[in-house]
């Protein structure tokens, strides 16, 4: 069950930004940083603070891939599917991550331990196949190395 939005935390975030339409994206970034996603029930208050319509807030959130409207896992796993990684075994790496976590691309595990994403490129082609877990890069992956990394995550 999803818990209710902590309005006091949201108000504290909003206090840090000028009440202007120019602060919309920074406000959304701060809200997501605090809650791990942009709770849909925060959009009305964000709209009021920034002086835009709630539909504009929703439009910005859905336009930019950096924003999420559902809770994400404590551990965000991004697996590269770019050409360099692909030819070095990215499919096997992704299959190992899927099997270990029990989730597919774009999903979050029921216990909110993992979120899995595939990305076009992680910019570490020489290390392929590559995955990033919570902003830490892991390269030259094989099933054993992947399992070692993932089993030690909280």
Considering the domain architecture, whether residues 82 and 147 belong to the same structural domain is answered as yes
How many beta carbons lie within 10 A of that of residue 34, not counting itself?
16
1 inside domain: no
Residues 49 and 91 in one domain: no
Query: Are 57 and 112 part of one and the same domain?
Result: no
For 105, residues 6+ apart whose C-beta sits below 8 A from its C-beta are 94, 116, 117, 118
Mark whether 59 and 116 lie in a shared domain: no
Count CB neighbours of 102 within 10 A.
13
Q: Which domain holds residue 23?
A: 7-63
Q: Domain tally for the chain?
A: 2
pLDDT of residue 14: 97
pLDDT value at residue 4: 75
Cα distances from 14 to residues 27, 63, 92, 110, 127, in angstroms, run: 7, 22, 44, 30, 41
SS3 49: helix
Report helix angle 54-63 to 43-50, nearest 10: 110
Per-residue pLDDT at 134: 94
Domain boundary among 24, 43, 63: 63
Instruction: Report yes or no on 142 lying in a domain.
Output: yes
pLDDT of residue 3: 58
Confirm whether 70 is domain-assigned: no
Tokens of 14: 């909003």
pLDDT at 1: 39
Per-residue pLDDT 10s for the chain (154 aa) are 345 788 999 999 999 999 999 999 999 999 999 998 999 999 999 999 999 999 999 999 999 988 999 999 999 999 999 999 999 999 999 999 999 999 999 999 999 999 999 999 999 999 999 999 999 999 999 999 999 999 999 9
């Amino acid at each position: 069950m999803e818990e209710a939005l902590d309005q006091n935390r949201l108000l504290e975030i909003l206090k840090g930004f000028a009440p202007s339409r120019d602060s919309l994206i920074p406000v959304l970034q701060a809200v997501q940083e605090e809650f791990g996603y942009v709770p849909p029930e925060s959009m009305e208050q964000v709209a009021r603070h920034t002086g835009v319509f709630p539909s504009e807030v929703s439009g910005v959130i859905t336009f930019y891939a950096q924003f999420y409207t559902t809770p994400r896992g404590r551990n965000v796993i991004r697996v590269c599917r770019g050409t360099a990684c692909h030819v070095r075994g990215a499919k096997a790496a992704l299959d190992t991550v899927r099997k270990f976590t029990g989730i597919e691309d774009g999903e979050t595990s029921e216990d909110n331990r993992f979120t899995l994403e595939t990305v076009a490129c992680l910019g570490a082609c020489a290390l392929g196949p590559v995955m990033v877990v919570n902003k830490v890069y892991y390269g030259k992956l094989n099933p054993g190395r992947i399992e070692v990394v993932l089993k030690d995550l909280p």
